[in-house]
Amino acid sequence: MRRYILRRLLLIPVLLLGITVLDYVFISVAPGDPITAMMDPEIMLAQTPEYIEARKRELGLDQPIMVRYAAWVKEVATGNLGYSIIRRRPVAELMYEAWRNTILLVVVSLVLSTLAGIALGLLSSMKPYSLLDYGLTFLAFVGAAIPSFFFAMILINVFALQLRWFPTSGITSPVPTGSELLDRLHHMVLPLAALTLFSWGGLLRFVRSSMIEALGQDYVRVARAKGLGERVVVMRHAFKNAMLPLVTLLGLSLPELVGGAFVIETLFNYPGIGQLMVDSTLKRDYPMMMGGLLVGAVTVLTANLLTDVAYAWVDPRIHYD
């Protein structure tokens, strides 16, 4: 197991190199550049091509793609993600401020969706093909069918604009009237609800199908024949052996939640990495875009590695050679 983890860790820099090369090339060949994105259209029309080229030389945008990429890699190797062209601040500093808000949103959503999916999945599997089972399955399919952005717009319209129970944007009030923690939680209710719906339905269906299969196995019948209580049979025998598909889904759900958070943050004007990346993309802020893509790639690769490690922990029969 240690050798497998070591090999995976050594492979991560190679994968990151390939990912960042492709990202940098695609970003560079896309139409537009930071100079024209920053300038007002009327002002840009009044400027001469020589002025625009001079500004590009100041930022090094006149260099070939691979030369600029090599300079970026050199900066990253020293622990510096570069300097934002638009915001005139270090990328690492901006990323840290935004990631704190995104991680809080994603982690709380992951915990809520996991608890809801597992609890409702267990409840559904205990009474298969009952009215309760059909009702929960229907809700799971509805949750999976409705896009998170559409559900977010419904929440904004009903609970923010019509009922005025929750704010429509931001993470804190301009002038807090009470506890800062309660104010932050108040702003997070609608984004959390929209993001949690994005994943709990799939988890419920996975837990239900895995548990129904596990409850029909011989070892469960033997446990019941020994006189063990139903709770012990379900949690200590069936659920433990049904966790492997659950580990897979949880490992894949983290990158999906981060991607879903990008959309949710933009809709709710939530100051996280999603809103920062969308704004940077629109303004062609190359260092900021590459910093976000690099952190996203590291997140996905780390989630995959942790999933493989969790496999071996859940099922000791699994060995990585």
User: CATH number of the domain that 203 lies in?
Assistant: 1.10.3720.10
In a domain, 85, yes or no: no
38 belongs to a structural domain: no
Instruction: DSSP for 197-218, please give it.
Output: HHHHHHHHHHHHHHHHHHHTSH
Classify residue 111: in a domain, yes or no.
yes
Which tokens in the block code for residue 209? 């199908």
Q: How far apart are CA 235 and CA 243, in angstroms?
A: 11
Average pLDDT score, the chain: 80
Predicted pLDDT of residue 48: 61
Number of domains in the chain: 1
Task: Determine contact, residues 148/198, Cβ cutoff 8 Å.
Answer: yes
Residue range of the domain that includes 134: 91-314
Cβ contact 195:112 at 8 Å: no
Chain centre to alpha carbon of residue 124: 27
- Which residues fall within 8 angstroms of residue 219, CB to CB, at 6 or more apart? 237, 241
Cα–Cα distance between 107 and 258 in angstroms, integer? 10
Let me know: does 73 contact 20? Beta carbons within 8 Å: yes
Q: What is the pLDDT along the chain (321 residues), one digit of tens a residue?
A: 677 677 778 888 888 888 888 888 888 887 777 776 666 555 555 556 666 677 777 777 778 888 888 888 888 888 788 888 888 888 888 888 888 888 888 888 888 888 888 888 888 888 888 898 888 888 888 877 788 788 888 888 888 888 888 888 878 777 766 677 788 888 888 888 888 877 787 788 888 888 888 888 888 888 888 887 777 888 777 887 777 767 777 777 777 777 777 788 888 888 888 888 888 888 888 888 888 888 888 888 887 777 777 766 666 665 555
- Asked, for residue 83, whether it belongs to a domain, the answer is no
Residues 6+ apart with CB under 8 A from 314: 240, 243, 244, 247
Question: pLDDT digit string (tens) for 41-75?
Answer: 555 555 566 666 777 777 777 788 888 888 888 88
User: What is residue 42's predicted lDDT score, i.e. its pLDDT?
Assistant: 56
Fill in the DSSP letter of residue 83: B
Take residue 12 and report the two structure tokens written for it. 């991560």
Is 4 among the domain residues?
A: no
171 three-state secondary structure: coil
Is the pTM value of this prediction over 0.75? yes
How far apart, in whole angstroms, are the C-alpha atoms of residue 117 and residue 209?
A: 12
Residues 278 and 289: beta-carbon distance below 8 Å = no
Confidence at residue 208, expressed as pLDDT on a 0 to 100 scale: 87
In a domain, 29, yes or no: no
Residue 308, domain member (yes or no):
yes
Is 207 inside any structural domain? Answer: yes
How many angstroms separate the first and last alpha carbons of the chain? Answer: 7
